[in-house]
């Protein structure tokens, strides 16, 4: 079961998490939603297109200029409060690895803490427990925040993913995070080569089989770009292919830049799987 902000999602109900970067140097949009007004417009558009979760980030994942905890909070806390006021029903997630930022955004109205760096700050799970927030437990291969993988190896990448994410999830629950609000994420690109991310994708069913809801963050990532030899702005088709595979294997939450296209893919896979009917059914009936 997955329940966030009092909303329960059915076992066959895919959930879209729309990315809103409050950074001037995002790898994908290069700061398009750094300022408040374009960021709020992005939230409004994403909700209208079908996103149930808005994921707000104040630090880009890759290397770059130092962003202190104070600056990260400045970029996110007030914006979380504004989104909470304008969109009372939307689920607000914040992408952070820092406990002090997590506490500040929860005070402002965040419902979910997206820990993309694999528990590097153990206090973040404690914050989630204190505020009754959800937590995303991600595999990052032990990498330090904002570093790229270098000659990383695994005897069995999925075994390592399971060991880390299940350990983080059980610890979160033991601290008091609601079990139904904990997700696990294989961490595509984080502490992984392209081959590792591809293997994690095709073996995603092993994560689904644990019973924890699985979140995938595939959107326009380097493993897609390297697989197809495409720059960032030409990775949508590859992203949607990986999304379809992940949906077929049972992932529940999809962190994305392109909401409309993702929703169409998820709806198509759900209909093929027999989980929902076609939107219309005229063919062969007239």
Claim: this prediction has a pTM higher than 0.75: yes
The string of pLDDT tens digits covering residues 135-146 is 999 999 999 999
Q: How far apart are CA 46 and CA 68, in angstroms?
A: 28
The string of pLDDT tens digits covering residues 80-90 is 999 999 999 99
Q: What angle do CA 36, 40, 41 make, to 5 degrees?
A: 120
Residue 104 predicted with pLDDT over 90: yes
The pLDDT assigned to 47 comes to 98
Domain at 14-272, CATH homologous superfamily: Dihydropteroate synthase-like (3.20.20.20)
Q: How far apart are CA 248 and CA 208, in angstroms?
A: 11
Return the residue matching tokens 């905890």. Answer: 69
**How do the domains of the chain map onto residue ranges?**
14-272
Task: Give mean pLDDT, residues 99-106.
Answer: 98
The token pair that represents 119 in the structure block:
């528990």
| 73 within 8 A of 108, measured Cβ to Cβ | no
Is the sign of the CA dihedral 136, 142, 145, 150 positive or negative? negative
The pLDDT assigned to 256 comes to 98
The pLDDT assigned to 111 comes to 98
Encode the chain in three state secondary structure.
CEEECCEEECCCCCEEEEEEECCCCCCCCCCCCCCHHHHHHHHHHHHHHCCCEEEEECCCCCCCCCCCHHHHHHHHHHHHHHHHHHCCCCEEEEECCCHHHHHHHHHHCCCEEEECCCCCCCHHHHHHHHHCCEEEEECCCCCCCCCCCCCCCCCCHHHHHHHHHHHHHHHHHHHCCCHHHEEEECCCCCCCCHHHHHHHHHCHHHHHCCCCCEEECCCCCHHHHHHHCCCHHHCHHHHHHHHHHHHHHCCCEEEECCHHHHHHHHHHHHHHCCCCCCCCCCCCCC
The pLDDT assigned to 232 comes to 96
Residue 202 predicted with pLDDT over 90: yes
Task: Give mean pLDDT, residues 86-111.
Answer: 98
The string of pLDDT tens digits covering residues 15-32 is 999 999 999 988 888 889
The string of pLDDT tens digits covering residues 154-200 is 999 999 999 999 999 999 999 999 999 999 999 999 999 999 999 99
The string of pLDDT tens digits covering residues 207-265 is 999 999 999 999 999 999 999 999 999 999 999 999 999 999 999 999 999 999 999 99
Percent of the chain with pLDDT over 70: 100
């Amino acid at each position: 079961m997955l329940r966030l902000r009092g909303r329960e999602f059915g076992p066959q109900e895919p959930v879209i998490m729309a990315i809103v970067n409050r950074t001037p140097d995002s790898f994908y949009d290069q700061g398009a939603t750094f300022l408040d007004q374009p960021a709020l417009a992005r939230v409004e558009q994403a909700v209208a297109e079908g996103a149930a979760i808005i994921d707000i980030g104040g630090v880009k994942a890759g290397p770059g200029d130092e962003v202190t905890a104070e600056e990260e909070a400045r970029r996110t806390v007030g914006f979380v409060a504004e989104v909470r006021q304008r969109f009372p029903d939307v689920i607000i997630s914040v992408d952070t690895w820092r406990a002090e930022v997590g506490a500040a955004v929860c005070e402002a109205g965040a419902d979910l803490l997206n820990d993309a760096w694999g528990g590097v700050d153990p206090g973040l799970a404690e914050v989630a427990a204190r505020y009754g927030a959800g937590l995303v437990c991600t595999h990052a291969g032990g990498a330090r925040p904002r570093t790229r993988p270098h000659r990383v190896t695994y005897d069995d990448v999925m075994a390592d993913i399971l060991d880390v994410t299940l350990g983080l999830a059980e610890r979160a629950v033991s601290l008091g995070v609601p079990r139904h609000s904990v997700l696990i994420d294989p961490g595509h690109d984080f502490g992984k080569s392209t081959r590792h991310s591809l293997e994690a994708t095709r073996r995603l069913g092993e994560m689904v089989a644990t019973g924890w809801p699985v979140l995938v963050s595939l959107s326009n990532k380097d493993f897609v770009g390297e697989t197809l030899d495409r720059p960032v702005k030409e990775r949508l088709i590859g992203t949607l292919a990986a999304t379809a595979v992940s949906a077929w294997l049972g992932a529940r939450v999809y962190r994305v830049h392109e909401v409309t296209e993702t929703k169409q893919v998820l709806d198509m896979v759900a209909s093929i799987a027999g989980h929902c009917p076609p939107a219309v059914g005229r063919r062969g009936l007239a």
